[in-house]
């Protein structure tokens, strides 16, 4: 009989504890993010598709058109082209095409880039019904960003 | 024109009661969803209107525009009668609820009895809805609803019996009138009438939750086991009417708890009593019903019956005996 009352009291108490927890949660601010209106800020090590890094001094890409990224890419999704302007010793980037449909975000291109001209973007809102939308002209993107 | 004169008052109270029930049913869904959202630290409905306030209207329009499917093999009469049998008694019960001293549809002497008589019809609606659906889930749910209601009607009526014993009346307005003055005159704090008054309020409240098939006692709906129980085969407004009936029953149950235990339209400080106090108490109680729903998971069926037969019914009877003993003692001295 004493077990009956003990269970009754402890049971009622535990129910009250439960109610306390939910009312505490009720008063706390909501944690939902209103996704299309708000966006999550990606962490520094998030791997989006690769992106060209701008040289702060010249305003252009840091790329020296060595082609290491193109060679290191196991899926062959990078196409780099450059030309040497008249009277210049360095090559200048003319095309940087990334075929993101094949890219597996392994990051070998970023690792192999000596001048640090490549980086992962934080862009995660990629959706399109057309394959062509995933072939990025990174040089154009860089110009658009500036 | 005097509103309180017959037969104008009949019409006015009828329209007012239906409007009140429908409005409550619609907006309690909103309260429920907002409450659930914030308890789970979500936002809840927010797109339709400011704070999602037009969501009930959108839901209603959606339900009304849907086809009323009557599946093959159901009992056509029972299937169509069931939603009405759930909603109509709930609305009828509103007629005797005293919102204030004068604001009451019909101030009849057997108001309390009438509410309990109609509350029992509610389970009949669920039973024939489940039976008529020709669906195994619906039948299981209907059977559960009946055995649950039998189990919980006993302690509820015994508790109400002790209240009737101390107040000597079945008239709801008279019961409220006897609780006039400061809040310690409310029945819940009247330890001089019965030592177990606060406990009996708790028992009444738990039974009310079970009677209205609310979580954690929503065995009739039990969406994880029985899809939607007795409502499985209903579509469109058939389902909507069941839903409205459920919420109307919650309002009735909470109104009864307010009237019997919390002083109805009496002000806690003895000044400016009126319908506003009734509504404040009513919605506070309804909010706690929502709060309870989103706190506890559904009990298992044997747990539900154990709670009633092993705990609530003994407590109710002890309360009844104590109350009568106390009444006798008062007469002796």
The answer, yes or no, to whether residue B226 has pLDDT greater than 80, is no
What is the tens place of the pLDDT at every residue in B80-109? 888 888 888 888 888 888 888 777 777 888
What is the tens place of the pLDDT at every residue in B159-216? 999 888 888 888 888 888 888 777 777 878 777 777 788 888 889 999 898 888 887 8
B269 bridge partner residues: B182
CA distance B166 to B265: 19
CA distance B279 to B265: 8
List of chain B residues whose C-beta atoms are within 8 Å of the C-beta of residue A3: none
Residue B51 at interface with chain A, using a CB cutoff of 8 Å? no
A98 bridge partner residues: A78, A136
Secondary structure of residue B1 in the 3-state scheme: coil
- CB–CB contact B291 A25 (8 Å): no
What is the band of A13 on the pLDDT scale with cuts at 50, 70, 90? very high
Cα-trace Rg, chain A: 27
What is the tens place of the pLDDT at every residue in B7-51? 787 888 888 888 888 888 888 889 988 989 889 888 888 888 888
Which structure tokens are listed for B231? 């409502």
Instruction: Enumerate the H helices of A28-137 as residue ranges.
Output: 68-72, 108-112
pTM of structure: 0.80
Q: What is the pLDDT of residue B333?
A: 67
CA distance B122 to B230: 13
List of chain B residues whose C-beta atoms are within 8 Å of the C-beta of residue A30: 37-38, 41-43
Q: A25 to chain B: nearest residue by CA?
A: B39
φ, ψ for residue B173 (rounded to 5)?
Answer: -65, -35
What is the tens place of the pLDDT at every residue in B303-332? 888 888 888 899 999 999 988 888 888 777
Place of tokens 């209907």: B142
CA distance B116 to B93: 9
What is the tens place of the pLDDT at every residue in B106-143? 788 888 888 888 888 888 888 888 888 888 888 888 88
Residue B284 at interface with chain A, using a CB cutoff of 8 Å? no
Domain A50-145 CATH assignment equals 3.30.70.3270: yes
Residue B311 at interface with chain A, using a CB cutoff of 8 Å? yes
Cβ distance B247 to B24 under 8 Å?
A: yes
Q: Prior bond to B3 cis, omega within 30?
A: no
Cβ distance B172 to B111 under 8 Å?
A: yes
Which structure tokens are listed for B25? 């049913």
Using alpha carbons, list the distances in angstroms from residue B223 to A127, B215, B220, B226.
35, 11, 9, 5
Q: How far is A142 from chain B (nearest CA, A)?
A: 37
The percentage of residues in chain A with a pLDDT greater than 70, rounded to a whole number, is 99
The answer, yes or no, to whether residue A124 has pLDDT greater than 90, is no
- CB–CB contact A25 B292 (8 Å): no
Q: B36 to chain A: nearest residue by CA?
A: A26
CA distance B139 to B131: 5
Residue of B39, B292, B296 with shortest CB distance to A25: B39
Is the ipTM, as predicted for this complex, more than 0.90? Answer: no
Element (H, E) at B21: helix B8-39
| Domains of chain A by residue range | 1-31, 50-145
What is the tens place of the pLDDT at every residue in B241-296? 888 888 888 899 999 999 888 888 888 887 777 788 888 889 999 999 999 988 98
What is the tens place of the pLDDT at every residue in A26-42? 888 888 888 888 888 88
Q: Which residues contact B288 (CB under 8 A, 6 or more apart)?
A: none
- CB–CB contact A22 B294 (8 Å): yes
What is the tens place of the pLDDT at every residue in A51-100? 888 888 877 888 888 888 889 999 989 888 888 888 878 888 888 888 88
The percentage of residues in chain A with a pLDDT greater than 90, rounded to a whole number, is 8
Spacing of C-alpha B289 from chain mean position: 10
Sign of the four-CA dihedral B45, B51, B56, B57? negative
Residue A36 at interface with chain B, using a CB cutoff of 8 Å? no
Q: What is the pLDDT of residue A17?
A: 93
Q: A31 to chain B: nearest residue by CA?
A: B41
A136 bridge partner residues: A98
CA distance B25 to B250: 9
Element (H, E) at B127: helix B111-132
């Amino acid at each position: 009989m004493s077990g009956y009352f003990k269970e009754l009291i402890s049971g009622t108490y535990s129910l009250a504890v439960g109610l306390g927890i939910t009312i505490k949660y009720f008063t706390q601010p909501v944690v939902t993010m209103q996704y299309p209106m708000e966006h999550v800020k990606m962490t520094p090590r998030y791997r989006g598709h690769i992106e060209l890094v701008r040289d702060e001094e010249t305003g252009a890409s840091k790329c020296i058109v060595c082609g290491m990224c193109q060679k290191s890419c196991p899926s062959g999704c990078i196409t780099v082209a450059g030309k040497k302007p008249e009277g210049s010793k360095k090559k200048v980037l003319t095309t940087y095409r990334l075929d993101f449909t094949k890219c597996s975000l392994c990051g070998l291109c970023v690792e192999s880039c000596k001048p640090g001209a490549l980086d992962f973007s934080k862009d995660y809102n990629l959706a399109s019904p057309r394959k062509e939308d995933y072939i990025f002209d990174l040089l154009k993107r860089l110009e658009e960003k500036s | 024109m005097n509103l309180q004169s017959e037969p104008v008052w009949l019409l006015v109270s009828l329209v007012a009661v239906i409007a009140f029930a429908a409005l409550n049913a619609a907006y309690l869904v909103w309260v429920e969803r907002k409450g659930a959202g914030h308890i789970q630290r979500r936002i809840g409905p927010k797109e339709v209107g400011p704070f999602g306030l037009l969501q009930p209207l959108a839901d209603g329009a959606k339900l009304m525009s849907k086809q009323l499917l009557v599946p093959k093999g159901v009992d056509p009469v029972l299937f169509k009668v069931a939603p009405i049998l759930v909603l109509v008694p709930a609305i009828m019960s509103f007629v005797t609820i005293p919102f204030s001293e004068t604001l009451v549809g019909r101030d009849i002497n057997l108001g309390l009895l009438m509410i309990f008589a109609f509350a029992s019809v509610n389970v009949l609606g669920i039973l024939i809805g489940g039976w008529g659906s020709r669906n195994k889930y619906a039948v299981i749910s209907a059977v559960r609803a009946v055995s649950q209601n039998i189990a919980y009607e006993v302690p509820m009526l015994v508790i109400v019996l002790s209240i009737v014993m101390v107040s000597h009346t079945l008239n709801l307005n008279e019961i409220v009138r006897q609780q006039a003055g400061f809040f310690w005159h409310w029945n819940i704090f009247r330890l001089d009438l019965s030592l177990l008054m606060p406990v009996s309020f708790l028992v009444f409240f738990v039974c009310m939750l079970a009677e209205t098939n609310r979580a954690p006692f929503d065995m009739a709906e039990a969406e994880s086991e029985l899809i939607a129980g007795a409502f499985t085969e209903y579509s469109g407004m058939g389902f909507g009417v069941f839903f409205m009936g459920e919420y109307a029953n919650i309002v009735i149950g909470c109104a009864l708890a307010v009237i019997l235990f919390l002083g109805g339209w009496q002000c806690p400080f003895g000044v400016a009593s009126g319908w506003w106090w009734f509504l404040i108490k009513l919605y506070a109680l309804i909010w706690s019903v929502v709060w309870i729903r989103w706190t506890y998971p559904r009990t298992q069926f044997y747990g539900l019956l154990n709670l009633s037969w092993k705990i609530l019914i003994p407590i109710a009877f002890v309360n009844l005996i104590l109350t009568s003993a106390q009444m006798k003692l008062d007469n002796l001295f």
